[in-house]
Chain A
Amino acid sequence: MFRYVLRRLLQAIPTLLGVSVISFVLVNSTPGDPILIRTFDPNITQETREIMRQQLGLDQSLPLQYFRWFTGYMIRPGDVVAQFETDSVSCRYVAPIGQTVCDTGGGIIRGNLGTSISTKQPVWDRMVERMPATLELGVASLFLTLLLGVPLGVLSAVRQGSWFDNAVRFLAVVGNAVPAFWLGIMLIFLFGVYLGVLPTGGRQTLTLDNEFDLVDRLRHLILPAFILAFGGIAGISRFMRTETLEVIRTDYIRTAKAKGLPGSRVWFVHALRNALIPLMTILGPAITGVLTGAVITETIFAWPGMGRLTFSAAVQRDYPMVLGAVMFFSLLTILGNLLSDILYGVVDPRVRLS
Chain B
Amino acid sequence: MSVKEAEATPAQVKALALAPQLKRDPQTFWGMAIQTLRRDRLTLVAIGFLVVLGALAILAPVITGLIGVGPNDTNPENAFSPPYLVPYIEWRLGLDLETAPRLLGKTDGVAHWLGTDQLGRDQLARLLYGGRVSLGIAFLAASITLVLGVTVGTIAGFFGGLVDDVIIWFINTLVSIPGIYLLIIVSAIFKPNPMTLTLFLGLLGWFGTARLIRGNVFKVRELDFVTAARSIGAGSGRIMLQHVIPNSLPIIIVNAAIDIGVLILVESALSFLGLGVQPPTATWGSMLNRANNLMFLRDPETGGYLALHLLVAPGLLITLTVLALYLIGDGLRDALDPMMKNAR
A residues lining the B interface (CB < 8 Å): 14-16, 18-19, 22-23, 26-27, 30-31, 173-174, 176-183, 185-186, 188-189, 193-194, 288, 291-292, 295-296, 299-300, 310-311, 314-315, 317, 322, 325-326, 329-330, 333-334, 337
Can you name 14 extra interface pairs (CB under 8 A) apart from A18-B173, A333-B176? A22-B174, A23-B177, A26-B182, A26-B186, A173-B327, A177-B319, A179-B269, A183-B315, A185-B288, A193-B295, A292-B180, A311-B273, A314-B189, A334-B176
* Nearest CB on A from B298, distance (A): 9
A310 vs B181: C-alpha distance when bound (angstroms) = 8
Q: Quick check: B188 and A185 within 8 Å, CB to CB?
A: no
In the complex, the answer to whether A296 meets B273 with C-beta atoms within 8 Å is yes
- The answer to the question of B184 belonging to the interface, with a C-beta cut-off of 8 Å to chain A, is yes
Asked whether any CB of chain A lies closer than 8 Å to the CB of B305, the reply is yes
How many of B's residues come within 8 Å of A, CB to CB? Answer: 46
Q: Which residues of A contact B177 (CB under 8 A)?
A: 19, 22-23, 326, 329-330, 333
Identify which of A176, A188, A311 contacts B295 (C-beta below 8 A).
Answer: A188
- Give CA–CA (A31, B186) in the complex, Å: 11
Closest approach, in angstroms, between the C-beta of B170 and any C-beta of chain A?
A: 7
B273, closest chain A residue (CB): A299
Inter-chain contact count A-B, CB under 8 Å?
Answer: 131
0 or 1 for each of B179-207: is its CB under 8 Å from A? (1 = yes) = 11110111011100000000000000000
A112 to B314, CA, bound (A): 44
The reply to whether A178 and B319 contact each other, CB–CB distance below 8 Å, is: yes
Q: Which residues of B143-179 have CB atoms within 8 Å of chain A's CB atoms?
A: 169-170, 172-174, 176-179
Contact A177 B188 (CB under 8 A): no
Residue of B nearest to A293 (CB): B180
Q: Per-residue 0/1 for B106-130: is the Cβ within 8 Å of any A Cβ (1 yes, 0 no)?
A: 0000000000000000000000000
On whether the beta carbons of B261 and A292 are closer than 8 Å, the reply is: no
List, sorted by A's number, 25 A–B pairs whose CB atoms are closer than 8 Å.
Answer: A14-B169, A16-B176, A18-B174, A27-B189, A30-B190, A173-B323, A173-B330, A177-B261, A177-B265, A177-B319, A179-B265, A179-B318, A181-B273, A185-B292, A185-B295, A189-B295, A292-B179, A296-B180, A296-B272, A310-B181, A314-B189, A315-B188, A315-B274, A330-B177, A333-B177
User: Could you say which of B182, B188, B268, B305 contacts A179, with CB atoms under 8 Å apart?
Assistant: B268
Complex Cα distance A313/B180, Å?
A: 14
Q: Enumerate chain A residues within 8 angstroms of B327, measured Cβ to Cβ.
A: 173
CB distance from B122 to the nearest CB of A (A): 21
Give the docked Cα–Cα distance between A189 and B305 (Å).
10
Is there an interface contact between B176 and A177, defined as CB atoms closer than 8 Å?
no
**CB distance B318 to A182 under 8 Å?**
yes
Chain A residues positioned under 8 Å from B170 (CB to CB): 18
Cβ contact within 8 Å between B315 and A182:
yes
Chain A residues with Cβ under 8 A from B174's Cβ? 18, 22
